[in-house]
Structure 1
């Protein structure tokens, strides 16, 4: 087996989706306190080489063929851009005539190197969780020098030039972005980014649900506000 890992195939919009994690362990430019994967021992925003990439790519090719996948979702433990073979992964998938969906936390979408990679994909997901600078630094613990303002502007500028489908995922967190002021700020961010699709999520991981989760009723209220133009 190679260094990639996979989720069981599932159906979304009548397409067979195969999710692949292309990182052997967590490599991210954030160290969020609520990350379900755990702490970021490897906090980086530059590309790295990993072992077993040749065998991993062959394994991915076999997985695509064996599962009869119709959409490949590169959803990794951390930031997929960090793997210096991410372009090879995308080219392999596209060579099979299949669309690629890539999840990025969104910060690196402001760097030319990564913009070019993301532009190769049919769908890109960017995300936001925290909506004030103080909480962004304290709760998401980004690489030093990162700011919330730049985080948002990177996604805005990326989507202005992107020809594919940009999906914007917002995670509602109790005590951090579930109040009326935060919801309005999120509405403004949505307007700035102008995504093709919005996903509203919340803390479902049992380790964080009690402290950071919100009620079904409040989740529905917020979702309705954020999904209404």
Structure 2
């Protein structure tokens, strides 16, 4: 039987055993970021999409839970996990095991009721941002036509206003795109608007892009201190 899910080795985070799971058979995303380590988006979508072999994939997930005995399942997929039309059932299954769920979403579609309802079932939701101008958003994140950066931010703002779990805001610092003083001030304004429970500052870690997009350690630590001192 074919399984559409894939897993990473269980790891510890703050004393908890975390099992990371991808629930997409290949990349399905509403963005097509130039720096994505998975590669180009052949399937550029933001609507629920049906995949085969759900039953066998859930059976394997059950086996993985019994084998690894995690405390938390982190749904971190090849693209936007929410477009899997069985995402809600997957979350319900995990919760039925008495486990906590963390969901990574890029955050854009968190304005749609069907996705809000699914994300609200999770104990933790991660939203993210990588660019802070409309031009750069379209140039290097290559979203679905009609998307705007302002709407992107607003979707996360509105979602977090009603969300009762832990909202984690992940900011990727990219050389020459958002590592200057003006960009940092804009990011601070966005943080204030979203009002996340936790902020995670990261860098591009794709080896192909490090030469042009990697922020050096000293500058990266300066930015982290500035963004976290709220």
TM class by shorter chain equals over 0.9
Deviation at 1:204, TM superposition (A): 1.7
SS in 1 for 2:93: helix
How far did 1:100 drift? Answer: 0.3
What pairs up with 1:43-192 in 2 under 5 angstroms? Answer: 43-192=44-193
CA distance in structure 2 between the aligned counterparts of 1:3 and 1:109, rounded to whole angstroms: 24
Q: Give runs of aligned pairs for residues 183-222 of structure 1, distance below 5 A.
A: 183-222=184-223
When normalised by structure 2's length, the TM-score is 0.99
| Stretches of structure 1 lacking an aligned partner (at least 5 in a row) | none
Question: d(CA) in 1 for partners of 2:58 and 2:186?
Answer: 41
Cα separation, 2, equivalents of 1:158 and 1:203: 26
How far 1:210 sits from its partner (Å)?
A: 1.1
1:35 aligns with 2:36: yes
Secondary structure, aligned partner of 2:209: helix
Alignment of 1:26 onto 2:45: no
Asked if structure 1 preserves the Cα contact closer than 8 Å seen for 2:36 and 2:206, the reply is no
Instruction: With the length of structure 1 as denominator, give the TM-score of the two structures.
Output: 0.99
Residue 3 of structure 1: how far off its partner (Å): 1.0
Q: Which secondary structure does the structure 2 equivalent of 1:92 belong to?
A: helix
Distance of 2:78 and 2:127 partners within structure 1: 15
1:169 Cα offset (Å): 0.1
RMSD: 0.6
Please give the secondary structure, in 1, of the residue aligned with 2:189.
helix
Q: C-alpha distance in 1, partners of 2:192/2:61?
A: 37
Deviation at 1:65? 1.1
